[in-house]
Chain A
Amino acid sequence: KAGVTQTPRYLIKTRGQQVTLSCSPISGHRSVSWYQQTPGQGLQFLFEYFSETQRNKGNFPGRFSGRQFSNSRSEMNVSTLELGDSALYLCASSFQGVNEQYFGPGTRLTVT
């Protein structure tokens, strides 16, 4: 089976812009979770989608949003980018829930 894929792999944006990241889960996986990874804060949970519904949400401001499509592909959007949003954004998929999550390669976002 193909693994989790994420596009784009790298992004450079300026403050105030918005960005959309994409994640394609492993075939058959219906749950997609998003994480932000930074050297200072480690891996922090953003949100989880299952069957097109957001089931869980982390402690991030409303500028961070996401959605999931009927084919389980997911996107996350960050509006009004801030310098502190620079991070590696990882998505992970599983058959259902948080058990046995498999990560994608991540999107490295740099905000200047």
Chain B
Amino acid sequence: GENVEQHPSTLSVQEGDSAVIKCTYSDSASNYFPWYKQELGKRPQLIIDIRSNVGEKKDQRIAVTLNKTAKHFSLHITETQPEDSAVYFCAATGTASKLTFGTGTRLQVTL
């Protein structure tokens, strides 16, 4: 089945800096890659997603890139703010059409 690895597990950046979270997947048939943000005690929230026919997608300060050949995708957050502090999860669909999640990255934005 699909296996998704996510790095780093924790990331601390200063306010205004950029943050990058990377994920790799194993199933070359995966075609959908969402990113979720989960604040403490809250539900995971879909923040951006990308499909396999697209290499990059941007939405204001967040962007996701996908490299199908290398089977990795990344989340980029620019001009980080304290409210960006949360746990971020990447996910991928495999041939079974179910989401497999990475283990999460705890992002801390310090003032």
A residues apposed to B, CB below 8 Å: 33, 35, 42-45, 48, 55-56, 58, 90, 97-106
- CB-based contact B46/A98 at 8 Å: no
In the complex, are the beta carbons of B104 and A42 less than 8 A apart?
yes
**CB nearest neighbor in A for B42:** A105
- Rounded to whole angstroms, the CA-CA distance of A104 and B45 in the bound complex is 9
B99 within 8 A of A: yes
Complex-state Cα separation, A106 to B93, whole angstroms: 22
| 5 A-B pairs closest in CB distance | A43-B101, A103-B43, A56-B98, A42-B103, A103-B44
**Shortest Cβ gap from B8 to chain A (Å):** 15
List the interface of chain B (C-beta within 8 A of A): 32, 34, 36, 42-46, 49, 89, 91, 93, 96-104
- Whether the pair A99, B89 counts as a contact (CB closer than 8 A) is no
Knowing A103-B43, A103-B45, A105-B43, say if A98 contacts B32 (CB, 8 Å).
Answer: yes
B89 and A43 contact, CB distance less than 8 A: yes
B41 to chain A, nearest CB (A): 9
14 new A-B pairs (CB below 8 Å) besides A98-B93, A104-B43? A42-B101, A42-B103, A43-B89, A56-B97, A56-B98, A58-B98, A90-B43, A97-B97, A98-B98, A100-B34, A100-B49, A102-B46, A103-B44, A105-B43
The docked-state distance in angstroms from the alpha carbon of A33 to that of B32 is 16
Residues of B within 8 A of A35 (CB): 101
